Amino acid sequence: MFFFVDPFGYSGFSMQTLKRILSYPRSEIFINYMVYDVVRFWEQDHAEQSMLELFGTEEYKDVDETQNAEQRQLFFMNLYCKNLREIAKSRYVMPFRINTPGQGVRPRYYLIHASQHFKALEVMKDNMARVSDVEYRFEAIGVKTAQMSLFEDPGKVDLRNRIQEYSKEHGATAYDEIEEWAYANTNGMKKTIKEALMQLEQEGLIEIQRKPRQRNNTVTKGASNIWGWHATSKPLI
């Protein structure tokens, strides 16, 4: 079941309501999260109940009032995503940032995808990638690159480094597990994840153990074991 939550402002879609929707195993929600309005009204007495319902806790009051608007927006976005996981019990949460046209990377609002199944995350992220002019970055549909982007691009190098660190920490790991982790925690998709793994292998930073007859110039889902050279122990072959 797919739900698109597009409220007017910050009220009308409580965390508890989202929790009920996400209690269904294959449910997914795409939320228009108006962070600008949250920053604008969070201190107002008339908004207190709505804010409590929105976040599900009073943690929103912990925002540092000395921070600028952009820093507070980031705090409220991170808190909201955290509560989608911890309170609404969403297994996968992926925020996409919509910037204010003409104002750099200043967020106008966020589109946040929450789901219980990896396939839902995979399809949503792949569809976002199809409207990108540049790999490793997502762009808003119908808007030129210079005007609006969905969320800040950590870059190809960052994706490669994060996959390397994951391999170090987890030792022998199936490709399927690395792919799922990268989809949920980085900007990577199938193509870019495989490219990063192949580059790491060429540089001698990871080892990819392939099945017999599998080509050495690829990484195949369900067929590869990947090991980072600095893991605590090397698997027995």
Q: What is the per-residue pLDDT across 149-194, written as a single tens digit (0 to 9) for each?
A: 344 344 566 888 888 888 888 888 888 899 999 998 888 888 888 9
- For the record, the structure tokens of 75 come out as 């705090």
Predicted TM-score of the model (pTM): 0.77
The CATH T-level fold of domain 155-228 is Arc Repressor Mutant, subunit A (1.10.10)
Q: Please list the residue range(s) of the chain that carry CATH number 1.10.10.10.
A: 155-228
d(CA 133, CA 214): 32
Shortest CA distance to 228 belongs to which of 178, 183, 179?
Answer: 178
Per-residue pLDDT tens digits for 188-214? 888 888 988 988 888 888 888 887 777
Q: What is the DSSP letter of 150?
A: E
Side chain identity at residue 3, one-letter code = F
Question: Which residue carries 């297994």 as its tokens?
Answer: 91
Residue 55 pairs with which residues in a beta bridge? none
pLDDT tens-digit readout, 64-110: 877 787 788 888 888 999 999 999 999 999 888 776 666 556 667 78
Q: Give first-to-last CA distance, the chain, whole Å.
A: 43
Number of other residues whose CB lies within 10 A of the CB of residue 141:
11
